[in-house]
Chain A
Amino acid sequence: MSMQQRFDDSPMVRPSRRDGSAEPLVRFDQVTKRYGSLTVLDQLNLEVSPGEKVAIIGPSGSGKSTLLRALMTLETIDDGVIEVDGEPLTHMPTAGGHLIPANARHQRRIRGRIGMVFQSFNLFPHMNALQNVIEAPVQVLGMSKAEASQRGEELLAMVGLEDKLGHYPAQLSGGQQQRVAIARALAMRPKVMLFDEVTSALDPELCGEVLNVIRQLGEAHNLTMLMVTHQMGFAREFADRVCFFYKGRIHEQGTPEELFGNPREERTQAFLSAVNEAH
């Protein structure tokens, strides 16, 4: 059933899924993103179930990061619809059921369900660790400073930084900064967490502490996670599903065992063997 048809028929009621599985929390429907003549996302389809951990791998320029950035509304999309928890992200339905571009209010409401951790941490350099974590809960969620601080301290303790509350980003190692960034994103209580090559800017010996935090998150919370990663070992062990990106599409996907153990596509095989050689 096409997007248009569905919204024309019944804007708010979604048809039940044929296989009876849970509604997807994230849904990319024929999403296209172009930079000039370059197509970065090519009619991409992706559904992520609640609680699912999806690893996204693929050669550089294949659109992996663009997928996360489009979901975080850091990039606009040229075509298609992205849905989060059943509601379109960059569109909104009119009374008549048509989809029109979302206004800022709608987009902010949906975007609040998503959190993101970046390759370059992007902590606020003029705020200490705790201030970084409580800024958005206080300003955006309207939490009291006391409540936000208490939660902030808990989150920073969870990522192993209970003794660094007053430290500024410049006083922290890369791994510590990235853990603050994870705590900061979690403080907004997202339903979906996006990890965009979060260990790529780190020295190898610091990757482990960040991956451990993510691993722990996956075990302790029923958090839905999408991660773009070059850490094949981590993807294999952590993800429920691995998507191999090539030329703006999901070229092949499957469980880690399937994709890493027995890749069907030639491109996937070539990519994986190139990665293995490099390590």
Chain B
Amino acid sequence: MNFFDWQFAWDILPQLLEASLKTIGITLGGFAIAVVLGLILAVGRRSRLPWLSWPVTGLIEFIRSTPLLIQAYFLFYVFPNYGLNLSALQAGIIAIAIHYACYTAEVYRAGLDAVPRGQWEAVTALNMKPLTAYRDVILPQALRPILPALGNYLVAMLKDTPVLSAITVVEIMQQAKNIGSESFRYLEPITLVGLFFLLLSLALAWFVRRLEDRMEVAR
């Protein structure tokens, strides 16, 4: 095996960067869905209505107990047999979004549980509607302590995007594998991909920390 070929690394960089846009898009798009869906699932799970809380609890536990890979396979390879045709990218984003929604749902649940009961009682005593109460009173208090945990899942989700290469999504890892199998050189593409994930993870962690600081100041 030769030593690291800088020229080759330079040559394949544009291809990898192009594919990295897909990785970033999947992460941001998937996480945007996951944080909203996760909140809805958490509220559903905490509901006093058993016909709502039971199925939601079941879904969360099911998704968390099975690999993302299998969920992605079902969406992309099995569901088309039943008439649901999704592109690889669509299936990938939906799979990873639902997967992480179930994790963030548990984070939200912890945050919501931590809001003192007196806050809910005050909201009732002031006759506020549930939606207003969540938006103005409950969520702002629930979010602050769980922001680090949500940030961790954002980074974890980024690092899970290569799983989607298994359903033919050409994200940065799949691109690197393609380059490797064509050129028989894996050192450079895989190193660059590793570097990409390292830098992006650090950047996201920094961004989340800044967000926490801002929320701390905002009160």
- Contact among A74, A125, A126 for B125, CB-based, below 8 A: A74
Are A140 and B128 touching (Cβ within 8 A)? yes
B47 in the interface (beta carbon within 8 A):
no
Considering the chains assembled together, what is the distance between the CA atoms of A136 and B137 in angstroms?
11
In the bound complex, residues from chain A placing their C-beta under 8 Å from that of B116 are 122
- Contact among B118, B128, B140 for A118, CB-based, below 8 A: B118
B165 in the interface (beta carbon within 8 A):
no
- B120 shortest CB reach to chain A, Å: 9
Contact (A73, B118) CB under 8 Å given A139-B136, A140-B129: no
Considering the chains assembled together, what is the distance between the CA atoms of A188 and B128 in angstroms?
11
B119 in the interface (beta carbon within 8 A):
yes
Number of A residues near B (Cβ < 8 Å) is 25
In the bound complex, residues from chain A placing their C-beta under 8 Å from that of B125 are 72, 74, 114-116, 118, 185
In the bound complex, residues from chain A placing their C-beta under 8 Å from that of B136 are 124, 135, 139
Least CB separation from A141: chain B residue: B127
Give the interface size bracket for B toward A.
Answer: 10 to 19
In the bound complex, residues from chain B placing their C-beta under 8 Å from that of A118 are 118, 121-122, 125
A111 in the interface (beta carbon within 8 A):
yes
- Contact among B119, B126, B219 for A140, CB-based, below 8 A: B126
A120 in the interface (beta carbon within 8 A):
yes
- B123 shortest CB reach to chain A, Å: 9
Are B127 and A136 touching (Cβ within 8 A)? yes
B81 in the interface (beta carbon within 8 A):
no
Within 8 A of B (CB), among A103-122: 108, 111-112, 114-116, 118, 120-122
- A122 shortest CB reach to chain B, Å: 4
B141 in the interface (beta carbon within 8 A):
yes
- B52 shortest CB reach to chain A, Å: 15
Q: A184-B126, A185-B125 are in contact. List 17 more A-B contacts (CB 8 A).
A: A72-B124, A72-B125, A74-B121, A108-B129, A112-B127, A114-B125, A116-B125, A118-B121, A118-B122, A123-B122, A126-B141, A126-B219, A135-B126, A139-B132, A140-B126, A140-B127, A185-B126
Residues of A within 8 A of B (CB): 72-74, 108, 111-112, 114-116, 118, 120-126, 135-136, 139-140, 168, 184-185, 188
Can you report 5 residue pairs joining A to B where beta carbons are below 8 Å apart?
A72-B124, A74-B124, A114-B125, A121-B118, A124-B137
